[in-house]
Amino acid sequence: MKKVIVQLTFFMTALLQPVGALADECKQVSFGAVSWTDVQATTATAETLLTYLGYEVSTEELSVPEVYQKLDKGELDIFLGNWMPTMEPILQPYLKSGSVEVFGKNLKGAKYTLAVPTYVYEAGVQSFADIARFKDKFENELYGLERGNDGNALLLDIIAKNDFALGQFSLMELPERLMLHQVKSHIRDGDWIAFLAWAPHPMNEMHDIRYLSGGDEYFGPNLGGATVSTNTRAGYRSACPNVAKLLDNLEFSLSMEGELMNMMLYEFVPGDRAARDWMFRHPETVTRWLNGVTNQKGEAVDPAKLAAEMRLTVNN
C-alpha cells in the first residue's frame, strides 16, 4: 500500500508541473550517417541544434545496411538519409517487423540515378538501354558508391539479371570522394564514364552532366526523382517527444543542402561549422525548425538568442 501511495504521489507531482518544466529524459541522442555529403550536412545541422538545446549527441558513420541493423537493435536513434524509392528494398523488412519508424519527408525534389558527361549523352547514351552499345567506350564498367549502398544494390541487380544487356559489366564500388574524383578525371580527359549521380549535390554545377532515362523500374520515374525521409528506432516518438517534434519540423531545401555541401567539399569547412554558419544567416528557418520545441530541460527556446550564440561560435 505504501508503495502505491508513493507512486501516486510522484505521478500527481509530475502532472501538476508546468508543461514547459518537464524535461525530455532522452538526453543522449544518437544518429546514424553514411559517407554522403548531403546526409552528413543534414545530420550536422540536427546535431548542432540538439547540442545547443542541451542534448548529448553522437553520430556514427556506417553503411546503409549497418544503419538499419543498428536502428533495428535500438543501438541508434535517428537516420536522416532514407532516400526513396531506392532504399525501399532495404527499409521494407524493418517496417514489416515494426523495428523502424518513418517520420515525414525532410527533403523533396531530389533525384538519384545513373548519369554521364554531356559529351557522352550527345554521342548517343541517353538512357540505360544505350549503355551496352558502347561497352568498349565504358570499358564494361559502371561507377557506384560505397559497398552496401542502395544504388549499388540496384545496379548489381541490373547486372545479375542482364537487364539493358549489362550482364557483362562490373560495378566499381567507391566512397563518394573517390567516385567523384574518377568523374572529374574522366571528364578532364574526355573519357567515357557512367556513374551514380544525385541532386542536391555540387557535382551538378561543377560538371556538365546529364541524367539517363529508362531506369524507372529501379530508380523511380522522372530521372530518379526522389524524396528523403527521417527514420527512427521503434517507439522513439513516444519516448522522446521533444526531439521528435524537432525531427517533424526539420525540412531542408535543395539550395540549403547545396550550400552546405559546397562549403564542406570545396571550402573544407567542417560540417558542424558549415551548419552553424548557414543557420546564423537564416534565422527565419531556425525559428520554423524550433516551433514547439523546448530545450532538454523543458524550457522555452529563444531562436534569436540561439542565432546569436551561433554567430559567436562561427566567428571564433
Each residue of 251-295: pLDDT tens digit? 999 999 999 999 999 999 999 999 999 999 999 999 999 999 999
Assess whether 102 and 162 both reside in one domain.
Answer: no
Per-residue pLDDT at 313 = 65
State whether the Cα torsion 101-107-111-112 is positive or negative.
negative
Assess whether 101 and 232 both reside in one domain.
Answer: yes
- CATH code where residue 235 lies: 3.40.190.10
Assess whether 215 and 247 both reside in one domain.
Answer: no
Which of the listed residues 225, 253, 280 is the one where a domain comes to its end?
225
Assess whether 255 and 308 both reside in one domain.
Answer: yes
Average pLDDT over every residue of 56-75:
97
Cα dihedral 25, 39, 37, 174, rounded to 10, equals: 120
Long-range contacts at 66-72 (CB < 8 A, ≥ 24 apart) = 66/32, 66/148, 67/32, 67/33, 67/34, 68/94, 68/100, 70/32, 71/32, 71/99, 71/100, 71/231, 71/232, 71/233, 72/97, 72/99, 72/100, 72/233
Question: Please, is 316 exposed, middle or buried when counting C-beta atoms within 10 Å of its C-beta (0-12, 13-18, 19+)?
Answer: exposed
Q: Which residues pair with 196 in a beta bridge?
A: 114
Which of the listed residues 172, 198, 225 is the one where a domain comes to its end?
225
Q: Is residue 4 part of a domain?
A: no
pLDDT at 150 over 80: yes
Q: Looking at the 3D structure of the chain, how many domains does it have?
A: 2
Q: Is residue 9 part of a domain?
A: no
pLDDT in tens, 92-101: 999 999 999 9
Average pLDDT over every residue of 58-72:
97
Assess whether 212 and 117 both reside in one domain.
Answer: yes
The letter for the amino acid at 293 is V
Assess whether 234 and 91 both reside in one domain.
Answer: yes
Assess whether 130 and 216 both reside in one domain.
Answer: yes
Please state, in angstroms and rounded to a whole number, the distance separating the CA atoms of residues 44 and 35. 13
Domain that holds residue 119: 111-225
Assess whether 50 and 60 both reside in one domain.
Answer: yes
Per-residue pLDDT at 5 = 40
Assess whether 66 and 201 both reside in one domain.
Answer: no
Lowest mean pLDDT across 8-22, 126-140, 146-160:
8-22
Q: Which 3-state string (H, E, C) describes 229-266? A: EEEEECCHHHHCHHHHHHHHHCCCCHHHHHHHHHHHHH
Q: Is residue 77 part of a domain?
A: yes
Q: Is residue 12 part of a domain?
A: no
Which of the listed residues 190, 225, 260 is the one where a domain comes to its end?
225
From residue 41, give the alpha-carbon distance in Å to each of 35, 48, 79, 272. Answer: 10, 11, 12, 8
DSSP 14-83: HHHS-GGG---S--EEEEEE-S-HHHHHHHHHHHHHHHHTT-EEEEEE--HHHHHHHHHHTS--EEEEEE
Q: Is residue 18 part of a domain?
A: no
Max Cα–Cα distance, the chain, nearest Å: 84
Q: Is residue 31 part of a domain?
A: yes
Assess whether 176 and 301 both reside in one domain.
Answer: no
Cβ-based neighbour number of residue 300 at 10 Å: 9
Confidence of residue 311 (pLDDT cuts 50, 70, 90): low
User: What are the residues whose beta carbons fall under 8 Å from the beta carbon of 177, sequence distance 6 or more?
Assistant: none
Assess whether 174 and 37 both reside in one domain.
Answer: no
pLDDT at 16 over 50: no
Confidence of residue 314 (pLDDT cuts 50, 70, 90): low
Q: Is residue 268 part of a domain?
A: yes
Query: Rounded to 5 degrees, what angle do the CA atoms 264, 268, 274 make?
Result: 45
The letter for the amino acid at 287 is T
From residue 224, give the alpha-carbon distance in Å to each of 7, 26, 44, 127, 204. Answer: 55, 37, 26, 12, 14
